[in-house]
Amino acid sequence: MKIKKVNIENYKSFKGLFSIELNENINILVGDNEAGKSTILEAIHICLSGQLNGKYILNQLSQYLFNNEVEKEYIKSLKTASKLEPPYISIEVFIAGDNLPFFEGDGNSEQKKECCITFKIEFDDQYKDEYLQLINTGKVSTIPIEYYKIAWFSCARDAVTSRSIPIKSVLIDSSTTRFQNGSDIYISRIIQNDLEEKERVDVSQAYRKLKETFMEEDSISKINQKISQKANISNKTVKISVDLSTKDAWETSLITYLDDVPFHQIGKGEQCIIKTNLALGHKKAKESNLILIEEPENHLSYSKLNQFIYNIESTCTDKQIIISTHSSFVVNKLGIENLILLHNKKTTSLKDLSIDTQDFFKKLPGYETLRMILCQKAILVEGPSDELIFQKAYIERNQGKLPIQDGFDVISVGLTFKRFLEIASKIEKDIAVITDNDKDFVKNITKKYIDYSSFPFIKICADNRDELRTLEYQFTDANKGDLKKICNVVEINGEVYNSEEKIINYLVNNKTNWALKVFSSNIELSYPDYILEAVKWCNEKK
């Protein structure tokens, strides 16, 4: 049983209707800050559990749950003759699976026969008269949330509760820790839910025995006697004891320990791993088959992150996972084909990437794919020397500004240009490639990049002179009129390096070193045409 689509309307960052389709197994949500990744995870969890931040949302209703623009438009309308109806929040989770007649129907915003759960925060009509009196005063400055209710129902229009929903969710956020009576709510719940009924009874009975032991302590008896004497407002005895007001009182009182250390006191990275592993290994897989993970890279070292990802890869076959992340490593290892890009409240999937590209990034996860995906515009170069020379040329033609200050991220990707261009073509990213011709322009440039020649947002910058095979040849040729100037800048003896060939050999054998000296120099030099072509492209894209 899996989620296939989610509709979110007017919740937090989403104004109006937002829709996202999900993969059956792993989904990786990426996007810039404020793109809505966390909001999507939160909304799904609310719809399936009725909980926000570990507490039932009914007790946490607030105007801050509503999209800010929607709230402002509503408040503004109350001062006009065309008053808007009180805004609502709607979250719809569409599910696919067998034996779901209770959830099937056309009671959804799309009015199609589907299996889904809808969670709405909406105005309660029973307060209509009182509400009208309130807005007639002209003093309404926020959404009057006190007149709102929760509506939770299936596509069959039947009311549902978290118990009746067949798909269960777990939200794991390693960036924050939420406590209830000193214990982490989630880990307590996952352990409790994994117990058989007899085991739960055993724990409950053992917990109730605490009252007898606690009350028999001499010190407690003396304290209760003292309290009772001072509490003269009642004829009844006042005393302290263990909370046994409900049969499941132990659920909110027990604390989980790890090597004798309370769970909430261990590192957040370790918490994230343990919570995830418990969820993945949950006995009741059919009842706990959706795992929502918020930025797992937080608080995890490289080795721990490797361990974390391996556990997900090897044990998630029967579960659906939705992860938000800013880590290229997480994306590459879990499969870039599972990535869903959020931009301007729209989604773009990379599931159609070629198998070769998918496998490439899984095997070599160190490449900064997300850096390219999330930047405004990208310049791809082969290595550090190309990056330094391009940036220097850009600075000299843009009043001392670096490319990144104008929204251009310069990224070294080795010779993997086509892998990145395939991704760029899917997301329509403005991108320029600065590359050598390696002695064969037709083969290494024209034919190699023919598939991307028609994309208006992709620019390939390379020199067509085969004899000027690399940057070192190109740079020396651009400054051949004054070879001594090159020697001065890169700090070599001009009497020794007195020919183009000798200078080229030095540059080839000292790639990053000479480029760094050029970057740091105040002496004006010339730059290869294909480098200047890339600078011109950037200036046109501003």
User: What is the model's pLDDT at position 86?
Assistant: 95
- Cβ neighbours for 435, distance < 8 A, ≥ 6 positions apart: 381, 382, 417, 444, 445, 460, 461, 462
- pLDDT above 90 (res 393): yes
pLDDT of 211-233, one tens digit each? 667 767 788 777 777 766 655 54
Half-sphere exposure of 31 (CA within 13 A, CB side): 22
Tell me the pLDDT band of 188, cut-offs 50, 70 and 90.
low
What percent of the chain clears pLDDT 90, i.e. is strictly above it?
Answer: 60
- pLDDT above 80 (res 174): no
Q: What is the mean pLDDT of residues 80-93?
A: 95
d(CA 270, CA 257): 13
Q: How far is CA 210 from the centre of its chain?
A: 44
pLDDT of 259-276, one tens digit each? 666 666 666 666 666 666
Closest CA to 437 of 419, 415, 455, 459: 415
User: What is the model's pLDDT at position 58?
Assistant: 84
Q: Which of 33-47, 94-108, 258-272, 478-492 has the lowest mean pLDDT?
A: 258-272
pLDDT of 289-344, one tens digit each? 788 888 888 777 788 788 778 877 776 667 889 999 999 999 999 999 999 999 98
pLDDT of 360-390, one tens digit each? 999 988 899 999 999 999 999 999 999 999 9
To which residue do tokens 């970057």 refer?
Answer: 519
pLDDT of 193-208, one tens digit each? 566 667 767 777 776 6
Name the average pLDDT for the chain. 86
The terminus-to-terminus CA distance of the chain in angstroms comes to: 47
Tell me the pLDDT band of 180, cut-offs 50, 70 and 90.
very low
Closest CA to 194 of 123, 271, 313, 278: 278
User: What is the model's pLDDT at position 183?
Assistant: 39
CB 260 within 8 A of CB 217: no
Closest CA to 154 of 93, 110, 87: 93
User: What is the model's pLDDT at position 211?
Assistant: 63
d(CA 184, CA 255): 8
Q: What is the pTM of this model?
A: 0.81
d(CA 531, CA 523): 18
Closest CA to 152 of 228, 202, 106, 91: 91
Q: Label the pairing between strands 458-461 and 431-434.
A: parallel
Of 222 and 473, the one with more pLDDT: 473
Quickly count: other Cβ atoms within 10 Å of residue 182's Cβ. Answer: 11
Of 112 and 298, the one with more pLDDT: 112
Q: Which of 143-147, 241-245, 436-440 has the lowest mean pLDDT?
A: 241-245
d(CA 330, CA 334): 6
Tell me the pLDDT band of 407, cut-offs 50, 70 and 90.
very high
Half-sphere exposure of 19 (CA within 13 A, CB side): 7
User: What is the model's pLDDT at position 198?
Assistant: 73
What is the SS3 string spanning 170-187? EEEECCCCCEECCEEHHH
User: What is the model's pLDDT at position 179?
Assistant: 39
d(CA 219, CA 197): 36
Tell me the pLDDT band of 177, cut-offs 50, 70 and 90.
very low
Specify the DSSP element, H or E, that contains 28. Answer: strand 26-31
Considering 164-173, 234-243, 495-504, the range whose residues carry the highest mean pLDDT is 495-504
To which residue do tokens 């002695």 refer?
Answer: 439
Three-state SS at 432 = strand
- pLDDT above 60 (res 284): no
User: What is the model's pLDDT at position 468?
Assistant: 97
For the chain, how long is the longest CA-to-CA vector? 107
Sequence letter at residue 194: D
Q: From residue 310, how far is each of 258, 314, 319, 327, 400 by CA, in Å?
A: 22, 6, 15, 15, 45
- pLDDT above 50 (res 154): yes
pLDDT of 452-465, one tens digit each? 999 999 999 999 99
User: What is the model's pLDDT at position 383?
Assistant: 95
